[in-house]
Structure 1
Amino acid sequence: MDEDFSRSGHLDGFARDNLPPRESWPALDLAATGLSYPERLNVVSELVDRHLAEGRGDRLAVIGPEENWSYAGLAETVNRIANVLTRDLGLVPGNRVLLRAANTPMMVAAYLAVLKAGGVAVATMPMLRAGELAYPIRKARIALALCDHRVVADLQATQALVPEFSTIVTWGDGALEGLMAQAGYENFTAADTAQDDVCLIAFTSGTTGEPKGTMHFQRDLLAICDTYGARVLKASPDDRFIGSPPLAFTFGLGGIVLFPLRIGAAIVLPEKTAPADLMLAIEEHRASVCFTAPTAYRAMLAQIEGRDLSSLRICVSAGESLPKATFEAWQAKTGLPLLDGIGATEMLHIFIGAPREKIRPGSTGLPVPGYEAKIVDEAGEELPDGTPGRLAVRGPTGCRYLADPRQARYVENGWNITGDTYLRDADGYFWYQARSDDMIVSAGYNIAGPEVEACLLIHEAVAECGVVGAPCPERGQIVKAYVLLRAGFTADAALAKALQEHVKATIAPYKYPRAIAFVTSLPKTPTGKLQRFALREMARAEAAAAP
C-alpha cells in the first residue's frame, strides 16, 4: 500500500520528513493480512472513546495502587491532559513528547493523551540516566516532556545537555494536576490524524551504543491488537491484564495497554512488578492475563508455594528465549502453558507465537496470522527446513527507522531481518538458535555490550575492556566484563565492586556487569579490533566449568 502523506494530520512534519525512503521500507499488503482501517484514524478513538459511545463507559478500565478508573474516568483524564498539552503547552499535531514514569495509571493516561492530541509519544524507562536520555531527545527533536515527579531529576539534568529540551511538566506533585483541573477541559476532540501518521517513536537498546528510533503509525497500534491480540492471545473483555515490562518497551505497551483497551478489558498496574510483587497483585486483583519474561516466570516458580494464582488463564512469555524446562515447570505447577513469542521494537510486537491449542514446547511457534516468516542465508536466499539461518519476517508492521542509515541493514528485499538465528521445521514451527549480533539479553532486558564497555572505559582504573553475555540459568544471560587494568590498580573484589557501582551510577543500573574478570590481555584482530566472539566463547567455557 502506498502512503499519501498529503493526507497527513500533522502540522509539524518532522516525523514524516525523517521516515526512511519509501523504497527501503518492508513490503506491506495490508489487505492480504485481513486488516482494513479508515484513512482518517486516531487510535485513541478506537481504544477508549468507542467504548463510551457503545455504552461501556462504566466498565473498569484501570486498576492502580491508589485509584481505579472506569472507561469514562480514563477518557476524562486523557481529555484533560490532551487539553493541557494543546491549550497550555502549545502542542500541535506531529510534535514529539517524551514520557518518563513507571507503569502507573497516569503514565497510561499521558501516553493516550499525547496520541489523542496528534502528538508523537516517545516513552523512556525511568532507570535511564541523563546521558542516556539526551540521545533520544536530540534524535527526535523533543522540546516537551511529561514526567512523574519522583523520577524527574535525571530528566532535569538532561536540559543542560540539550538546551532545546525546554519544558518538563510533572505529575504527582500537583503541577500537571493543577492544569488538568481547569474548567472545560473534560472534553477533547481527537486530532484528525491519518492512519499512516507517525504516533510513536520507540527507541531500541542499540547494538553499538546508539539506539535506533523505530517509527510506528496510528494503524500499527491497532494492527498488533487485531493480529496477535485477536488471533493468538484471544482474550476476552472480562479479562484483567497484568505484567512487568515497562511501557517504554513495546512488549509492555502492547500487552499491558493496547490489547486490553482494544477489547474493553481491564489493566492492573501494581506499584511494584518484581516476581513476588507480581504474584501478590495477581492474587489481590484476580488478574487473568500475564505478560512477562521467562526469567520472571522462573523466579515466580521458586516462590509459588502458598500463592493463589488460580485467576490466571493466559500467560505470555517474551523478551528472551523461553527454555523448555521453564515451560514444563510452569505448566506442572499452574496447569497453564506459557505462550512463547518473539517480537521486536522494529515490528512493534510479537510476530511469531502459537495459540494455546498449537503450542509445541521448546518452539517459539508459528507466524502470527497476518505475518510471514522464513529462514534465509547471507545472500537472502531461503534455506530448506531444518537449516539454521537468519530470520526474515514481514506483515502489517515493520521497520521504519528515524533518519538512520541502518535501515538498509534491517530491511532486505522487502523483508525485516531481525538479527536472530532460527530454524524452521517441516511443520512450519520456528525454533530459536541464538542472537545474530552482540546484544546481551538478560532477564528480558536488551543490553548493548559496547555501551557498557564505553561506560567502564571512563573509569580511571580501566585501560581496556570487553563486555559480552555469559550463560546464566536464572537470567538467561548476565553481563560479563573482561577488564584490563591500568598500572597501579589492584585486581581484587573491592575494585570489581567499585566498577559495578560506577556503571550503575552512570547508565541504567540493570546494565551493570554482574561478573567481572580481570585479564592481562584481550583477544583482538590483527588490526586491533576487539574479538567479542572470542570473549563469548571464553564466557561459555567458564560457565560450563563452574561448579
Structure 2
Amino acid sequence: MAQSAHLDTFTRDNLPAREMWPEFINLDPLGYPDRLNCASELLDRNVAEGRGDKPALVSPTTSWTYGQLAEKVNRIANVLVSDFGLKPGNRVLLRFPNTPMMTAVYFAVLKAGGVVVATMPLLRAKEMAVIVDKAELSLAVCDHRLADEMELTRKRTDRLRQIFYSGGEGRDTLEARMETASPEFTACDTAADDVCLLGFTSGTTGEPKATMHFHRDMLAICDCYSREVLRPVESDVFIGSPPLAFTFGLGGLVLFPFRAGATAILLEKAGPDELLAAIPQMRPTVIFTAPTAYRAILAKRGDTDLSSLRKCVSAGEALPKATWDDWHAATGIKILDGIGATELLHIFIAAREDEVRPGATGKPVPGYEAKVIGPDGKDVPDGTPGRLAVRGPTGCRYLADPRQADYVVDGWNVTGDTYIRDADGYFWYQARSDDMIVSSGYNIAGPEVEGTLLAHPAVAECGVVGAPDPDRGRIVKAYIVLKPDATGDAELAKALQDYVKAELAPYKYPRAIEFVTELPRTETGKLQRFALRDIAATDSGDAGSARAAS
C-alpha cells in the first residue's frame, strides 16, 4: 500500500489482515496513480475541462453548476478543517435526505481526506449509535429536519462529541459558516488506497458490517460498470430512488453522472409517485430504481409521458422477467438488470442493451470475473446452481470483523447469492443462498416462484419464503398483494397454485398462500424476506387468508 495521508490511522489499522483480502484484478488497465483524491477527480476535473457552467445537481428547489458545487465543497471543507478540526482519516457521519447539500458535504469530507459514513434518513438512534461506536465517530453533519434522532443518538454514545446542522436559522448553521469560509481548498494528497468510505450493511442478519472502500474504488465502479455497460454521455440527466447512503444510489445518482460530466436530479422523496411526476417535468434520460418501482410506475402511469428516458437500471433485488417484459412492452426500453453488493461497492454482473437476455442478470462487468461454486468451493458445471463468487478491481474489506473469513474465500468474494451460469456465460439468479427453500429434499428458489406469480394478472406484488412443515420440513409459502380488482379468497388461491404448477415443476408450487395488504420492505424498496420468514414461522398457512405482512 502507498504511504497514507491519514493522520488518524483508524481505518488503515482496522483493515483485515492482507491475506484475508480478496484478490484485486485488472487494476493496472485502469491506470490510477498512487496518489489520488476521488473528490478532486470527480468534481474539479469537470471544472478544469470546461464544464463549470453546466448543471451538476438539480432538485425541485435548487440547481447548482459544477463550478458552484466546487466552490461550496471548498467552503465546507474549510469549515470542517478550521471550525471542527477535521484531520485526514477522521470519520464523519452524514445524515441527510437526497439533497444537493448532502452531496456537497460528502465531497467536502472526501476532499479534506476524511472518511464518509453516510446513514439512511430512516435509521433510528439505537441503530445509529451502533454505527457511531463501531466507526469511532466523533463528528456528525446533519440536516436540521433530522435533528431529533441525531440528538437522541448523542445521548446513546459517549463518542459523538460534535454535531452541526445544515439548514434552519442562526449563525451556527453550516450555511452561515460557509459564508465566511474561503472558496479555495487544496485537496488532501490522499493515497489511491486510503479509505474514503465506510459503507454499512443493513444488519438484517445481525450486527451491521462496515465495508471499507478506497479512493480508487470510487473511480473503478465508474470506469468498469458505468463506462463499459451503462455508457452514459454528457447530455444525460440521471434520476432515481435509492438513498445516497446506499451505494447503489451513490453510484447511480452522483458518481456515474459526475464521471461522465452529466447532470443528476436529486429528489428527497423518490417513490413511484414522485418519480412518475418528475419524469415528464424534469426530463431525465437515465433512471436507477428497484423492480418494485418499475411495476408500480407502470400500474399508475396512465398517459404520463416517459419518452425522455433512454436507460433504465434495476438492482437491489432480482428483476422478475414479467416486470422486464411489461416495461419493455410499455416503453420499448430494455431494463438493464444488475447485481451488486455493498462489499464490492456497486454492480459487477450486468448486460448492455444489445446483450440483454430477459430473466438473466447478465455477464461479469468488464474488469470482473465470476463463477459458480459448490459447498466444497470448487466450480460446478454450467447449468448447476451454486454460490456466486466474484473478483475484480473492488472487493470486500470489513472493518475489524471476523465475518471477513466468511465473505472472502480463496481470494474470491462469495456474495451469498445462488446462481446458475449457462453455456453462453450468462448468470441466472436463483435466490439469496439463505432464501433457498428445501422442501422434501427439493431445492426451490423463492424468487423463481415469485417471478411466476407476478406474471399472473391478479398479482401486484408477492414474496415467497419457506414455512415450517412437520412432514416436508419446509413448504413454499407465498404472501401476495393483489391488484385492486382481484378478490383474495380460496378460489383465487387455488387458481394461483394451479398457475404455478403449469409454469414450473409441480413441486415448486406454493402450498400455502396468504393475501396481504402490503409487504415488508427496506427503505430502498428491497423485499425483506427475513421478515416474511419470521411471520411464516408462526402462521398457520391456511390458503386464502388475508392479513398485513408488515
TM-score tier, shorter chain, comes to: 0.7 to 0.9
Which residue number in structure 1 is paired with residue 257 of structure 2? 260
Matches of 1:225 and 1:28 in 2, distance apart? 16
Matches of 2:97 and 2:368 in 1, distance apart? 31
Q: Which runs of 4+ in 1 moved over 6 A?
A: 438-442, 507-517, 537-541, 543-547
Structure 2: tracts of 5 or more residues without a match: 437-445, 451-462, 466-475, 484-515
- Displacement of 1:29 after TM fit? 2.7
Question: Pick from 109, 117, 120: which aligns with 1:122?
Answer: 117
Quick one: structure 1 residues 473 and 166, their matched pair in 2 at CA, closer, same or farther if it must change by over 3 Å? same
Quick one: structure 1 residues 420 and 509, their matched pair in 2 at CA, closer, same or farther if it must change by over 3 Å? closer
Matches of 1:201 and 1:419 in 2, distance apart? 21
Matches of 1:322 and 1:329 in 2, distance apart? 12
Q: Which moved more, 1:415-424 or 1:171-180?
A: 171-180
Which residue number in structure 2 is paired with residue 294 of structure 1? 291
- Displacement of 1:26 after TM fit? 0.3
Partner SS state of residue 259, structure 2: helix
Question: Pick from 166, 177, 193: which aligns with 1:179?
Answer: 177
User: Given that residues 127 and 509 in structure 1 are in contact (C-alpha distance below 8 angstroms), is that contact kept between their aligned partners in structure 2?
Assistant: no
Which residue number in structure 2 is paired with residue 336 of structure 1? 333
Matches of 1:115 and 1:469 in 2, distance apart? 46
User: Given that residues 241 and 524 in structure 2 are in contact (C-alpha distance below 8 angstroms), is that contact kept between their aligned partners in structure 1?
Assistant: no
- Displacement of 1:267 after TM fit? 0.6
Question: Pick from 150, 153, 159: which aligns with 2:148?
Answer: 153
State the Cα deviation string for residues 174-202 of structure 1 (Å, max 9, x = none): 4111111105x111111110000000000
User: Given that residues 27 and 393 in structure 2 are in contact (C-alpha distance below 8 angstroms), is that contact kept between their aligned partners in structure 1?
Assistant: no
Question: Pick from 336, 354, 362: which aligns with 1:365?
Answer: 362
Question: Pick from 2, 8, 14: which aligns with 2:4?
Answer: 8
- Displacement of 1:271 after TM fit? 3.4
Quick one: structure 1 residues 304 and 419, their matched pair in 2 at CA, closer, same or farther if it must change by over 3 Å? same
Partner SS state of residue 344, structure 2: coil
State the Cα deviation string for residues 440-488 of structure 1 (Å, max 9, x = none): 999xxxx9x9xxxxxxxxxxxxxxxxxx99644689xxxxxxxxxxxxx
Q: What amino acid sits opposite 2:330 in the alignment?
A: K
Quick one: structure 1 residues 104 and 331, their matched pair in 2 at CA, closer, same or farther if it must change by over 3 Å? same
User: Given that residues 477 and 541 in structure 2 are in contact (C-alpha distance below 8 angstroms), is that contact kept between their aligned partners in structure 1?
Assistant: no
Matches of 2:543 and 2:135 in 1, distance apart? 41
Q: Which moved more, 1:302-311 or 1:345-354?
A: 302-311
- Mapping of 1:51-70 within 5 angstroms? 51-70=46-65
User: Given that residues 470 and 543 in structure 1 are in contact (C-alpha distance below 8 angstroms), is that contact kept between their aligned partners in structure 2?
Assistant: no
Matches of 1:474 and 1:395 in 2, distance apart? 41
Matches of 2:306 and 2:166 in 1, distance apart? 33
User: Given that residues 6 and 88 in structure 2 are in contact (C-alpha distance below 8 angstroms), is that contact kept between their aligned partners in structure 1?
Assistant: yes
Confirm whether residue 227 of structure 1 aligns to residue 217 of structure 2.
no
- CA RMSD in angstroms comes to 3.1
Matches of 1:543 and 1:187 in 2, distance apart? 66
Quick one: structure 1 residues 513 and 118, their matched pair in 2 at CA, closer, same or farther if it must change by over 3 Å? closer
Quick one: structure 1 residues 375 and 473, their matched pair in 2 at CA, closer, same or farther if it must change by over 3 Å? farther
- Displacement of 1:515 after TM fit? 12
Confirm whether residue 41 of structure 1 aligns to residue 36 of structure 2.
yes
Quick one: structure 1 residues 348 and 543, their matched pair in 2 at CA, closer, same or farther if it must change by over 3 Å? farther
Q: What amino acid sits opposite 1:11 in the alignment?
A: L
Which residue number in structure 1 is paired with residue 108 of structure 2? 113
Which residue number in structure 2 is paired with residue 22 of structure 1? 18
- Mapping of 1:178-217 within 5 angstroms? 178-183=176-181, 185-217=182-214
Partner SS state of residue 364, structure 1: coil
State the Cα deviation string for residues 271-309 of structure 1 (Å, max 9, x = none): 321101112111111100000000000000001112111
Q: What amino acid sits opposite 1:179 in the alignment?
A: R
User: Given that residues 471 and 539 in structure 1 are in contact (C-alpha distance below 8 angstroms), is that contact kept between their aligned partners in structure 2?
Assistant: no
Quick one: structure 1 residues 20 and 539, their matched pair in 2 at CA, closer, same or farther if it must change by over 3 Å? farther
Which residue number in structure 1 is paired with residue 161 of structure 2? 166
Confirm whether residue 393 of structure 1 aligns to residue 382 of structure 2.
no
Matches of 2:198 and 2:230 in 1, distance apart? 25
Q: What amino acid sits opposite 2:131 in the alignment?
A: P
Which residue number in structure 2 is paired with residue 285 of structure 1? 282
- Mapping of 1:351-430 within 5 angstroms? 351-430=348-427
Matches of 1:28 and 1:540 in 2, distance apart? 48
Partner SS state of residue 38, structure 1: coil
User: Given that residues 204 and 212 in structure 1 are in contact (C-alpha distance below 8 angstroms), is that contact kept between their aligned partners in structure 2?
Assistant: yes
Quick one: structure 1 residues 161 and 26, their matched pair in 2 at CA, closer, same or farther if it must change by over 3 Å? same
Matches of 1:50 and 1:205 in 2, distance apart? 33
Matches of 1:120 and 1:103 in 2, distance apart? 19
Q: What amino acid sits opposite 2:178 in the alignment?
A: M
With the length of structure 1 as denominator, give the TM-score of the two structures.
0.82
Which residue number in structure 1 is paired with residue 490 of structure 2? none
Q: What amino acid sits opposite 2:217 in the alignment?
A: D
Q: Which moved more, 1:132-141 or 1:535-544?
A: 535-544
Matches of 2:96 and 2:383 in 1, distance apart? 44
Which residue number in structure 2 is paired with residue 436 of structure 1? 433
Matches of 1:97 and 1:469 in 2, distance apart? 43
- Displacement of 1:206 after TM fit? 2.3
User: Given that residues 15 and 94 in structure 1 are in contact (C-alpha distance below 8 angstroms), is that contact kept between their aligned partners in structure 2?
Assistant: yes
Matches of 1:333 and 1:273 in 2, distance apart? 21
Quick one: structure 1 residues 472 and 40, their matched pair in 2 at CA, closer, same or farther if it must change by over 3 Å? farther
- Displacement of 1:53 after TM fit? 1.1
Quick one: structure 1 residues 472 and 366, their matched pair in 2 at CA, closer, same or farther if it must change by over 3 Å? farther
- Displacement of 1:209 after TM fit? 2.5
Structure 1: tracts of 5 or more residues without a match: 450-467, 476-495, 518-531
Quick one: structure 1 residues 206 and 345, their matched pair in 2 at CA, closer, same or farther if it must change by over 3 Å? same
Identity %: 59
Quick one: structure 1 residues 437 and 207, their matched pair in 2 at CA, closer, same or farther if it must change by over 3 Å? farther
Confirm whether residue 85 of structure 1 aligns to residue 80 of structure 2.
yes
Quick one: structure 1 residues 172 and 118, their matched pair in 2 at CA, closer, same or farther if it must change by over 3 Å? same
Partner SS state of residue 302, structure 1: helix
- Displacement of 1:270 after TM fit? 2.3
Q: What amino acid sits opposite 1:28 in the alignment?
A: F
Which residue number in structure 1 is paired with residue 316 of structure 2? 319
Quick one: structure 1 residues 282 and 469, their matched pair in 2 at CA, closer, same or farther if it must change by over 3 Å? farther
State the Cα deviation string for residues 379-420 of structure 1 (Å, max 9, x = none): 110000000000000000000000000000000000000000
Which residue number in structure 2 is paired with residue 250 of structure 1? 247
- Mapping of 1:441-456 within 5 angstroms? none
- Displacement of 1:510 after TM fit? 8.4
Q: Which moved more, 1:416-425 or 1:54-63?
A: 54-63
State the Cα deviation string for residues 88-130 of structure 1 (Å, max 9, x = none): 0100000000000110010111111110110000000110110
Q: What amino acid sits opposite 1:45 in the alignment?
A: S
Q: What amino acid sits opposite 1:298 in the alignment?
A: R
Which residue number in structure 2 is paired with residue 346 of structure 1? 343
- Displacement of 1:51 after TM fit? 1.1
Confirm whether residue 132 of structure 1 aligns to residue 123 of structure 2.
no
Quick one: structure 1 residues 106 and 474, their matched pair in 2 at CA, closer, same or farther if it must change by over 3 Å? farther
